[in-house]
Amino acid sequence: MAELPQLICGWHPVLEALEAQHPIEKILLRKGISGRGAEQLLRIAQERQIPVQEVPQEKLNRTTRGQHQGLIAFRALLPNPDVQDIVAQVFESGQTPFIVLLDQVSDVRNMGAIARSALCFGAHALVIPSRGSALISEDTIKSSAGALLHLPLCRVWNLKDSIKSLKESGLHFFAVHEKGSLQPHQADLSQPMMLMMGSEHEGISPAYLSMADQSIAIPQTGPVASLNVSVAAGILAYETFKQRRG
């Protein structure tokens, strides 16, 4: 079978890809479209937990010069493994799980840089919500210097449920934000754990902060209020590596 392009445009190609169970990352649908075809599309997308974003015609026109007919799907370039399966495999191998969670990090370069640091310092998986995260495109993979080809990327429909499940599996939940109570060296990062970084603009959502077992803040000086999320992720990933090597 010929390789599908990353963008799939038009009603027949998109519905055909969905029915053939091709991995789809998200769908753009022109606002105001209705009818039997739209109902079928939304039903399949809901069953497969694929985000559908209603957008104006201009957004679709900027995304592609092709004949999109008001509908564009983005084919997933990477597999979508189950984070629970990864954690189970890590435990079975005698290692200590280290999972990085990202709360709606939307910048492609930040996503790539975080993946690169996570892989270099021993993370076992990167977990992101299906909605609101940077699209995993060729540019994202390039920004990661190829790290995303080696580090499992788990896209989850409900991040809160994933956190609950990981906590039940024995992982300690650290949230990293500027008002955290611990400095990195004070946190026990050698235990089975997950580390959450927040979005570039809003930080970590209050709903996730309330679930954290402990919070971490990176001490700093100077007039700038906070570090870039990819820099902060690199610092925490290195501290984790250092503690586990020690």
Is this structure's pTM higher than 0.75?
yes
Q: Which of the 8 DSSP states describes residue 131?
A: S
Domain boundaries defined on the chain: 7-75, 83-245
Strand partners, 129: 156
Residue with tokens 């021993």: 122
- Total Cβ atoms within 10 A of residue 34: 7
**Percent above pLDDT 90 for the chain:** 76
**What pLDDT sits at residue 5?**
54
Amino acid at 237: A
Q: What is the pLDDT of residues 14-55, one digit of tens each?
A: 998 898 888 898 999 999 998 988 999 999 999 988 999 999
Distance CA 70, CA 208 (A): 35
79/4: higher pLDDT: 79
Query: Alpha helix locations (H) across the chain?
Result: 11-19, 36-47, 57-63, 83-92, 108-120, 138-143, 159-168, 206-209, 229-245
Position 137 scores a pLDDT of: 85
Q: Is the pLDDT of residue 2 over 70?
A: no
Q: What SS3 state is found at 103?
A: coil
Q: 6 and 137 in contact (C-beta within 8 Å)?
A: yes
Where residue 70 falls (left for φ over 0; alpha for ψ -120 to 50; beta otherwise) is left
Among 3.90.198.10, 3.30.1330.30, 3.40.50.720, 3.40.50.11540, name the CATH number for the domain at 7-75: 3.30.1330.30
Side chain identity at 134, as an amino acid letter? A
Which of the following CATH numbers is that of domain 83-245: 3.40.1280.10, 3.40.50.150, 1.20.1430.10, 3.40.50.1470? Answer: 3.40.1280.10
Q: Give per-residue pLDDT as tens, 182-203.
A: 999 999 999 999 999 998 888 9
